[in-house]
Amino acid sequence: MTSKKPRVLMLSQDVHPIPPVKGAAVEHWIDQVAQRLTEYEPTILSIAHPSLPLEEERHGVFYKRIRVSRLYNRLFRKITRFDPWPYIQRVIHEARRIDPQVIHLHNAPHFVKEIRQAFPDKVLVLHMHNEKKVAQDLPIDCLAACSDYVRDFFRDQGLNAPCFATIPNGVDVQRYQPVWVKEDERSRVRRNLGLDERKVILYVGRISEEKGPDRIVEAFSHLDPTRFQLVLIGEWRQGDPEKDRRAAYAKKLEVALQEIPHKTLGVINPREMPMVYPIGDLLVIPSRFEEPFSMAAIEAMATGVPVLALRRGGMIEYMIDGENATLLAADVDSSVMAKTIEDLTDRPDHLDQLAHNARSMVEQRFSWEHVANETERLFDDLCIRLPQ
């Protein structure tokens, strides 16, 4: 790279490559925002993946992927539990070559102290996409969060950061076209998936207790099976139900699903999701925990699929009941959820208005271009305050 723009290094934990090859919201955020930075020169460090080259440059982004061999993982991380060259040290080694002005670290507070020690004079932003216990004295220049809810969680926890900022998640509003501009495509995908004319209630997310898909299954016990069908998209935990709580939950849910009309689609590549959301007549977000933001919500909204959610976490910062979504109490009874689903689907004009309002809101607030602009404004502000 020969640009004279200030350099920014973006990285996360050593779990998923960037871009992710399957659903990984944090890594997807990094990739999408990096591609849209105009005033900074982005480099992304991540772990390697067999389907991706170790180095490449595209969309104005330089990607460096760090390979850790299977033998190394097995010998030092699983057997001896002694890691002589941990991932963060490999990252620091590569980062020295890049010499960034800004280091934008996502969801990895455990990397902060080593990064700060290696780069005492660089702007260091820790960007959190969910709640996590952290030390109060983390040596960062700013704590960024995906929502005010998450930002305030860390502020209230006593984190002694000189700056707190909210930078939301985003969606590609060009790829996530609303259903009303591609109705034929919607019908074709539904036919290919073997879905009939019944209303499709859609769930997108992990198959886990905190995400609450069982609450929709319970609501279906109050719904007419000749009118409604449930489609679940998300990762099902494999493993021994006797040893793994998530696997046990998934097994129990599988049994409960046999009593209602349903289809499970498993994990779908993020590149294919714009074509899948439109199969839904209504997306339901039944979370038991405080959702930090909900990517599924804004992706559905961008696609013109109405959203029914519970009043949880960061979602209530952009969902307005009766205007761009339908909100229910966090502890809502399954029969009330079912009645709400029935009422909404009996009012197609109202659902259509919710969907159009939601699409407009997403275009204005959550396009990746808007998120990238907010990110650069934060970098600018920090670089002015902390000149290199």
In the chain, where are the structural domains located? 7-170+367-385, 179-365
CB-based burial label for 148 (10 Å; 0-12, 13-18, 19+): middle
Give the model confidence (pLDDT) of 139-169 as tens digits: 999 999 999 999 999 999 999 999 999 999 9
Give the model confidence (pLDDT) of 8-25 as tens digits: 999 999 889 999 887 788
Query: Cα-flanking dihedrals φ and ψ of residue 154, to 5°?
Result: -75, -35
Architecture of domain 179-365: 3-Layer(aba) Sandwich (3.40)
- What pTM, to 2 d.p., does this model score? 0.91
Q: How far is CA 197 from the centre of its chain?
A: 30
- List, in sequence order, every beta strand (DSSP E) within the chain: 7-11, 41-47, 55-58, 61-66, 102-106, 123-128, 142-145, 164-166, 199-204, 228-233, 262-266, 282-285, 307-310, 326-328
* Alpha carbon distance 152, 74 (integer Å): 39
Give the model confidence (pLDDT) of 334-365 as tens digits: 999 999 999 999 999 999 999 999 999 999 99
> Average per-residue pLDDT in the chain?
93
Asked whether residue 73 carries a pLDDT value surpassing 90, the answer given is no
Yes or no: domain 7-170+367-385 corresponds to CATH 3.40.720.10:
no
